[in-house]
Structure 1
């Protein structure tokens, strides 16, 4: 049975954290007839919310004034009510602020990804019903907590959301925040509440639709390359275990994630070999691939032979975006004498024979949500886009309500996107 190695935006029920404390935040609503503050401070907010910190040996109580969103606003949502079954709800539970470092965003565009339909059809990353899916979106800031300083109401932003387990947890510099299971904060709803470190301003040279392509494919490529594969250009000082130069193999180079990866790797000084279809070969070259291998009508062994004819034993980094079989062929194409890093972003069989010189990197995109230090990768991606150094994928844009989302998911499921990104502009 294949085993997922990338945990691509994986379920948080696979995440365990040892901690000496648990923090419980209990919200207080303000008057439903009032307009409600856009941003509240501890000094001026009269209703108080109690934040209890329970420690091993003693208990202390800290009081914080944390705003809660207007409780009478409606929140249309696309719910998963059972495995393989959706329901459009005109008003669902409002994703209120449960920490003063959170932001409420009004959803305007959402990006659709294969994992969105796969999780529903196959029943994973759905810890409870009803549940909301959707992992990337762009929109406008509606409310901010009192500790949010980098964002303002009315600002255009994008964000990335991973799947969640029974409780959603994220870290700040001082707190571990736990959100109750029934308050789901995925993207297929009108309002989304997220920690501020996961919210990025939209670069001035792109649209809302384009921004909703960044939270999965763009961010996955950036973090995979800069953090796990140690590619030059990282916004952090990573400890290097392999050379900055050499070849990167991308199997699935025309996929949307592959398109981002080609560009970021090329900017980092690597020579990219992209395995792609004949139809998409030209795009891979336009984006910067030094070499392309057309996969049409060829066996995996034939493709590996072509790769080795180009790079010899010099491929020290690899990404697979297709599946278990191609991941195994990627391993065969990597260097046998030099240290190499491999990120199978689809799946790697548990029976795969991994040579001792190759490190298989588990790419955990949930770390973007769980660890605020990961924001530097999204910031760096934003800068490259603002500078015009990264070209965004071609899009297919649908418009409408959540019925348009369902239509888009069916199209993604059919697999006929051919390197395009499916985006829905919501009319709610």
Structure 2
């Protein structure tokens, strides 16, 4: 079967579906036949706002799941036919071969998780990228312990953790990660998604629609928050979109958090994520998942999904099945 992709051919252009080659995996890569693609808000911002410099034409997309078509010469953990979910490495953003928006895509074998037959591609792809970001932000940057999947109850810890936006797909994964590691989590949600967020087990859920002043007072009353990665640090997964007013002494810290998983000192965490936490967490229903909404229409439907994400989607993960 020939390959086909949804291309972005110039800055801020709409996607166009067209042919591309079927790639040969490098020594440490796997070639995946795509069965499901998950969409992340950052991808919509890259397309709509060109917030990162990339070379055009390009193939976007960071989350895919499917079956292994071929493996590189140095790959021993996977073989053709394996069911996997994979996250695009930040180092491959400029390489079209690794973009998720195509029928066959390459992935670094170190970024892929093998899936139990009972786990759907849609569920797996909905978490594979954001769980890496959540784990890196919480365990590397904030210094939190990892959750213990086998524990009957999480270990009790005294630290308070603030995770803003518990109803987003990333926020829900982060809340569950910290809760299952034993931390007292405070998070935010709208009334519409409160039941979803409360089901993740945080100690406090504040309504973020009450206004900045009232919300700020509520957070101050519940603080101080211990695991903050350094006083005055605000860790965020989006860059500033324009002028903003921050309290004195507070610094926005934006970066590709998951990129640190490739560093030498974090290899154990990376392996645990793809070999244990993701496959076992999905199998046991232990991950903080929001509702998955399946998008229909093939690669041609990707532009519509990005349009919806840019307009804002809450409490739901959009997933395209091929």
Q: Same fold (TM over 0.5)?
A: yes
Deviation at 1:265, TM superposition (A): 0.6
Tell me what 2:258 maps to.
365
State the superposition RMSD in angstroms.
3.0
Asked if 1:316 is matched to 2:226, the reply is yes
Change (3 A) 1:149 1:129: same
Instruction: Map 1:193-272; keep pairs closer than 5 Å.
Output: 193-233=106-146, 245-272=158-185
Unaligned runs of 5+ residues in structure 1 are 1-72, 170-180, 236-242, 320-337
Q: 1:307 aligns with which of 219, 231, 242?
A: 219
Q: Which moved more, 1:396-405 or 1:344-353?
A: 344-353
Q: 1: CA distance between counterparts of 2:11 and 2:96?
A: 19
Deviation at 1:410, TM superposition (A): 1.6
Please identify the structure whose Cα radius of gyration is greater: 1
Q: Is the 8 A contact 2:236 2:252 kept in 1?
A: no
Q: 1:388 aligns with which of 268, 285, 290?
A: 285
Tell me what 1:418 maps to.
314
Change (3 A) 1:369 1:109: farther
Q: 2: CA distance between counterparts of 1:136 and 1:370?
A: 21
- Secondary structure of residue in 2 paired with 1:151: coil
Query: Deviation digits for residues 356-400 of structure 1, max 9, x if unmatched?
Result: 9x9958553234467782333333431333333224221110122
Q: Is the 8 A contact 2:136 2:260 kept in 1?
A: no
Q: 1: CA distance between counterparts of 2:321 and 2:114?
A: 18
Query: Deviation digits for residues 267-323 of structure 1, max 9, x if unmatched?
Result: 11111111211111222111111111112232x232121122233x3x12359xxxx
Q: 2: CA distance between counterparts of 1:344 and 1:158?
A: 25
Structure with greater helix share of residues = 2
Q: 2: CA distance between counterparts of 1:211 and 1:125?
A: 27
Unaligned runs of 5+ residues in structure 2 are 149-155
Query: Deviation digits for residues 12-70 of structure 1, max 9, x if unmatched?
Result: xxxxxxxxxxxxxxxxxxxxxxxxxxxxxxxxxxxxxxxxxxxxxxxxxxxxxxxxxxx
Asked if 1:95 is matched to 2:23, the reply is yes
Q: Is the 8 A contact 2:114 2:275 kept in 1?
A: no
Change (3 A) 1:90 1:370: farther
Q: Is the 8 A contact 2:75 2:109 kept in 1?
A: yes
Q: 2: CA distance between counterparts of 1:244 and 1:218?
A: 22
Q: Is the 8 A contact 2:5 2:101 kept in 1?
A: yes
Q: 1:159 aligns with which of 80, 86, 96?
A: 86
Change (3 A) 1:118 1:341: closer
Q: 2:38 aligns with which of 111, 114, 132?
A: 111
Deviation at 1:341, TM superposition (A): 6.0
Change (3 A) 1:276 1:154: same
Q: 1: CA distance between counterparts of 2:281 and 2:321?
A: 25
Change (3 A) 1:292 1:268: same
Q: 1:345 aligns with which of 212, 237, 247?
A: 237
Q: 1: CA distance between counterparts of 2:116 and 2:127?
A: 11
Deviation at 1:222, TM superposition (A): 2.0
Q: 2: CA distance between counterparts of 1:182 and 1:391?
A: 31
